[in-house]
Structure 1
Amino acid sequence: MSAQTSAPTAEAWAEAFAEASNNDTEIQAHGKYFTCSYLLDATDRTYVIQVESGRVTHVTANPGPLDVAYQFAIRASADTWREFGQPVPAPMFHGIWAASFQRDMKLEGDILVLMQNLRCITRQVELLRVVGSPV
């Protein structure tokens, strides 16, 4: 078995992430009102994830600054996102709150929308352990 030497393309990751999220029973159970758009910023790549009623309807890879509107952003270095994508993340890389308190993760924008959808956002971040790092 060989280790993966590079991350998938931005488009391939976006497709895998949308599929994993849309097929996740926990998100579907909790996500009836999970409707928002957010930016996942991994320094080397950015994604705007659009969700309607718990389903990812579109993921825009590497949008320009005015291409797609979003309500809040989750920003961290590529190294932090790579740690999140590990099957068993190291301490302080297991969730957005731990990483924002102890690492370089920043939560910006309309945090109320983030808090209203926190369980589903948390689950989507946990899915990085399945689909891998966005970078």
Structure 2
Amino acid sequence: MTAPTRAAPAREWADAFAAASNEDPEIQAHGKYFTCTYLLDATERSYAIKMESGRVTEVTVDPGPLDVPYEFAIRATPETWRGFGEPVPPPMHHGIWAATFQRDMRLDGNILVLMQNLRCVTRQIELLRTVGSPV
């Protein structure tokens, strides 16, 4: 007997996330200088997302600690990421600040880079409502 899956396989999710981000008019309008690599960490699975001028150029699934350098990380439990992936997120799952206030999400690394690109990162998190949870 197999357990039901809650998310698409990792590579499939990564490709869908990259396509949704690259096709999003808001990110393209605001992302001219959005160039960095950041980590989405969901304990069970992580993704290093490389951005160049507002476009996802690479998503590395489950990078090792030295495989992909990144400027900042957004870390949360799988349950929190699943909440972000709902079409209508439950309370405290509609944005990274709400999730950090409940102390389930942590922002690590160079927070200045996150703040410089906050609108685009926020929009990418909002895209989870359409592409689904990363875990």
TM-score, structure 2 length as denominator?
0.95
Amino acid aligned to 1:107: L
How many angstroms apart in 2 are the aligned matches of 1:24 and 1:62?
A: 25
Kindly provide the CA deviation profile for residues 28-84 of structure 1, in whole angstroms up to 9, marking residues without a partner as x.
000001111000001110000000000000000001110000000000000000000
**Unmatched segments (≥5 aa) in structure 1:** none
How many angstroms apart in 1 are the aligned matches of 2:20 and 2:115?
A: 22
Alignment: residue pair count = 132
How many angstroms apart in 1 are the aligned matches of 2:74 and 2:127?
A: 15
Question: What is the alpha-carbon root mean square deviation over aligned residues?
Answer: 0.9
Q: Does 1:56 align with 2:56?
A: yes
* Greater displacement, 100-109 / 12-21: 100-109
Deviation at 1:91, TM superposition (A): 1.0
**Do the aligned partners of 1:85 and 1:132 also contact (CA within 8 Å) in 2?**
yes
How many angstroms apart in 2 are the aligned matches of 1:104 and 1:69?
A: 24
Deviation at 1:103, TM superposition (A): 4.1
TM-score, structure 1 length as denominator?
0.95
State the partner residue of 2:115.
Answer: 115
State the partner residue of 1:76.
Answer: 76
**Unmatched segments (≥5 aa) in structure 2:** none
Amino acid aligned to 1:6: R
Question: What percentage of residue pairs aligned between the two structures are identical?
Answer: 73
After superposing on structure 2, the runs of 4+ consecutive aligned residues of structure 1 that deviate more than 2 Å are: none
State the partner residue of 2:66.
Answer: 66
How many angstroms apart in 2 are the aligned matches of 1:5 and 1:117?
A: 32
